[in-house]
Amino acid sequence: MPDPSAIDGKLAPPDEHAGVLVIGAGPAGTAAAIAAAEAGEQVVLVDENPVDPGLMGHDTPLWYGARMTAAVQRPERLVEQLAAANPALEAAMMLGVDVRLGVTAWGLYAPGPALRGLPAAMVGLADAERAWMCGFDRLVLATGARDVAIAFRGWDQPGVMGANGLHVLVQRYDAFDGRRIAVLGSGALGLRTALDAKARGLEVVAIVEVLGAPQGPPDLLAEVAAANIPVLAGHAPLRAEGGASGVERLVLRAPDGLETSLGCDTVCLAVGLAPAIELLQSAGGAIVSDGGRGGHAPALDGAATSLVNVSAVGDCAGPALDHDAWAYQAAWLAALQGAADPSLIICQCEAVTRGDIIEVRAPRYLGPPTERSRARSLGTLIADGPVNQDQIKRLTRACMGVCQARRCREQVALILAEAAGVAPQDVPLAGFRAPVRPLPLAVIADWNETEAMRDGWEIWMAIPGQWAPYADIGTEREFALLGGGSARR
Amino acid sequence: MSAGAAVVVIGGGVTGLSAAWWLARAGVDVLVLEKGLVGWEASGRNGGGASHYHSPLFHEEQRLWPLMDDLLGYPTEYRRERVIFALNEQHLADYRNMAAEGRKLGYRVSDLDPKQVRELVPLASEKTIGGVHLHYGGHANPQRTVQAYAWALQDLGGRIQQHTRVEGIVVESGRVVAVETAAGRIGADALVVAAGPQTGMLLAKVGVRLPLGYGRAEMIVTEPAPLMPIGGADGNGLYGRQTLRGNLAFGGGPHEWIEMGEAGPPGRPTSPVTRSLARRVAELMPGAARLRVIRSWAGTFENTPDGRPVLDRLDEPANLVVATMSSVGFGLSPASGHAVADLVLEGRCSFADIDKLKLERFANTPEDWLERRGWLPPAAA
């Protein structure tokens, strides 16, 4: 006798099916889509750009630092711009690839030992109005990389942004609302960011490096020199200062200890990109911890992930770097936050400070900490077991906000590693959960669910008698209740 | 080898931690052994509700919750009261029946008309036809509460050993004398097994049969909304609350029966049930329909055949107390811990009759009961 309130038979098969579903229409995803189409496969290529401008205001999916022009308010016009910025898309369409812009992949579901009720592997997709599920024979993740943010004084104002956010606004959207940029980070990422910006006619006032020497490869450094972009090594940013419209200058401490100031409207942090593993990790795909691949990256065999028929290409695959991402980011964290006071906000969504994280403080809406709470800290917590970012998240709310920790995930891990005296790779990855993009209830909702879901819906398990009042157990009334009554906590 | 304890508690979920805390309050030397992190399973993954009229522990639950922040010394985010409101007549009748049970037990309940519902719950649908207002019960933050128990226990001198899975129970002359872990043998004068889904597997090691089925359930949470006068508000097939931060956190709907291991579940994935939950929240609170869903999560739990707890001190081994709350444990935890501590110290619960929660009621449960009930994992697709 089946349990009518269990999941069996309630989840619908996917609304549509793709032979090959490619997520992300950057260079790697577009190339993968073209290759699959040329091999005669039926290919769907989705890309979330143009992104809902409301989400961009939450630095989602990239760190745009509120430096978007009004052009992002007209997504329909941006579609042409995006197509123009990626000529390969037209080639893909000519080959019959079903290209869909403005379509977000928000969830990946794969059958597994604790998810046998799922009829098939499927991806949750959504546009501005609705969500649906897409099955696949083969899934190619080409979701790119996210900006790694590290807080410093003044970072929470318009004009402080990430290298990928800048790249997308400048190169793909042509919707960047800044002119004078200070780039933080002199690795290959920082150097390319500066060169690309300059090539687009933007002014790069300097590339700032906290380490004693520029970090990038000699050929890029030569290009930077040829472009007359100064590289300020051994300089530590102290704070971004500005006014109502955001950043106006970046104040640095020079190697001689003196403060110096760079006039700029944008501070672009280019100290690292994290492979965008949200979909893979939330579906239970294996992840490895490898600073040489940008941090947490998919466990790969060639391009194959640990999930059946799911591969990863491009930046989300965590390509090999010429340096250890964690070591470099930890050096930046130490330089940017070493002298900072504990009131520096780390999690902007939830207003959690660096001090709150290290002292494991409950959020301020609960009032001042109790006497006993004040005696608790990361130090007392790790006396009970290894540092755990998810545990800190639960207690402090750092990483619990609407940006889904895009602005603070990596730096909270770095702060915890520093404070606990462990290597960053030894801080367990805080888990990702669907939806990996914040989507409105009305959009993600299933307005067309199965009859079985509708008819078999119970608040809790509907075990006969579970909610019978204790006094009635073993009485006539219990048996009457078992015949009818509704499950209720 | 770790030092032993007068009482060893297996399981750092709410039930085990509360029991240990009550024991420490009584001056008992207590050690909690937890296979992972405290509160990592269902104890930290539930709806936070605290309105369990059906339980013999109900009065103690209601008495204790308003005191817990002070007793523990750490915030639990407890807020009293709950509003349950209906979009159709069937639900309204169910809620009124449920409220009548609370009233019968001496608690204040108000019937609400649609206007009153919307005063207390401004996000409530205009299609609301009425509801009930329980002036008791309420909700707390499960994750914060679990840690509060753990810290309060430590403040009283109790010990917690995380990442320590119990692999064996040593019985001599009819009494538990120690437990075996990878880190060695830990001596105990008495043992509490409050290990959630692993409770039955642990008891099996000493020849005691506790029939359990294992399930997975899921919830969603939105970005924050302005705080409503009553955050403990639900209906439309959902359980949940508005947190004190403002997020709407709701669960409900189908569970999946799963296989369970001694080290834990094979995973805690969420499923597209997320979308059905989102639909019901949007129907219940259309004013929140544009709020973004920012997370989902799943937890796993155990159920006895009748869905009711087992809170029992066994005859053999005589110093072993069993505690499973059968998938309804968080809200009752202040009281369940009290009951367990009483069973350890006195052999009986001091504040309520819990005799109907003894293990012996399952003595005749057939071996194939899971098959008969259909509590088996779905056939693979």
> In this model, does residue B211 exceed pLDDT 50?
yes
State whether residue B351 sits within 8 Å of chain A by CB.
no
Least confident of A437-441, A474-478, B65-69: A474-478
Which residues in chain A (35-54) have CB-CB distances under 8 A to chain B? none
A73-96 average pLDDT score: 92
The two structure tokens encoding residue A445:
């909702």
CA-based angle A115:A116:A118, to the nearest 5? 80
How far A388 CA sits from the closest chain B CA (Å)? 9
What whole-number distance in Å separates Cα of residue A454 and Cα of residue B282? 15
> In this model, does residue A485 exceed pLDDT 60?
no
Q: Is A311 helix (H, G, I), strand (E, B) or coil?
A: strand
Quote the radius of gyration of chain A (alpha carbons, Å).
25
Q: Do B254 and A459 touch (CB under 8 A)?
A: no
| DSSP summary character for residue B229 | S
Average predicted confidence (pLDDT) for chain B: 97
Helix B333-346 to helix B14-25 angle (10° resolution) is: 50
What's the pLDDT at A464? 84
Which residues in chain B (167-196) have CB-CB distances under 8 A to chain A? none
Q: Do A435 and B296 touch (CB under 8 A)?
A: yes
Q: Do B282 and A404 touch (CB under 8 A)?
A: no
* Per-residue model confidence as pLDDT tens digits over B325-338: 999 999 999 999 99
- The number of C-beta contacts closer than 8 angstroms across A and B is 263
Q: Do B327 and A3 touch (CB under 8 A)?
A: no
Q: Note whether A380 and A424 are within 8 A (CB).
A: no
Q: Is B193 helix (H, G, I), strand (E, B) or coil?
A: strand
How far B33 CA sits from the closest chain A CA (Å)? 12
Give the DSSP per-residue string, A146-158: EEPP---BTTTST
A256-271 average pLDDT score: 97
Identify the closest residue of chain B to A362 by CA–CA distance.
B75
> In this model, does residue A477 exceed pLDDT 90?
no
Which residues in chain B (309-338) have CB-CB distances under 8 A to chain A? 326-328, 331
* Alpha-carbon distances of A448 from A165, A411, A444, A457, A458, rounded to whole Å: 36, 41, 11, 14, 18
> In this model, does residue A306 exceed pLDDT 90?
yes
B185-189 average pLDDT score: 98
Q: Do A489 and B258 touch (CB under 8 A)?
A: no
Cα torsion angle, A430, A432, A433, A436, sign: positive
Identify the closest residue of chain A to B57 by CA–CA distance.
A470
Of the pLDDT bands very low, low, confident and very high (cuts 50, 70, 90), residue B2 is low
How far B19 CA sits from the closest chain A CA (Å)? 19
A166-187 average pLDDT score: 97
- pTM, full prediction: 0.97
Neighbours of B269 (CB within 10 A): 25
* Per-residue model confidence as pLDDT tens digits over B355-374: 999 999 999 999 999 999 99
What whole-number distance in Å separates Cα of residue A486 and Cα of residue B18? 30
Which residues in chain A (270-309) have CB-CB distances under 8 A to chain B? 283-284
Average predicted confidence (pLDDT) for chain A: 95
What's the pLDDT at A483? 52
Best of A7, A280, A350, A360 to substitute, by most chain B Cβ atoms within 10 angstroms, is A7
Contacts of A397 in chain B (CB under 8 A): 245
Is the model more confident about A489 or about A364?
A364
Q: Do A488 and B276 touch (CB under 8 A)?
A: no
A262-273 average pLDDT score: 98
Tokens 């509120």 label which residue? A66
> In this model, does residue B1 exceed pLDDT 80?
no
Which residues in chain A (244-273) have CB-CB distances under 8 A to chain B? none
What whole-number distance in Å separates Cα of residue B305 and Cα of residue B375? 10
B94-113 average pLDDT score: 96
Report the residue from B54, B223, B267 with minimal CB separation from A112.
B267
B191-205 average pLDDT score: 98
The two structure tokens encoding residue B76:
């639990």
Q: Residue B249 half-sphere exposure, CB side, CA atoms within 13 Å?
A: 24
Contacts of B379 in chain A (CB under 8 A): 8, 116
What's the pLDDT at A482? 65
CA-based angle B335:B337:B338, to the nearest 5? 65
What's the pLDDT at A480? 73
Best of B43, B54, B154 to substitute, by most chain A Cβ atoms within 10 angstroms, is B54
Q: Note whether B24 and B156 are within 8 A (CB).
A: yes
* Alpha-carbon distances of A380 from A373, A387, A419, rounded to whole Å: 11, 11, 12
What's the pLDDT at B224? 98
Q: Note whether B150 and B133 are within 8 A (CB).
A: no
Q: Do A458 and B254 touch (CB under 8 A)?
A: yes
A261-285 average pLDDT score: 98
What's the pLDDT at A481? 67
Of the pLDDT bands very low, low, confident and very high (cuts 50, 70, 90), residue A148 is very high
What's the pLDDT at A76? 83
Tokens 């003894």 label which residue? B358
What whole-number distance in Å separates Cα of residue B362 and Cα of residue B359? 6
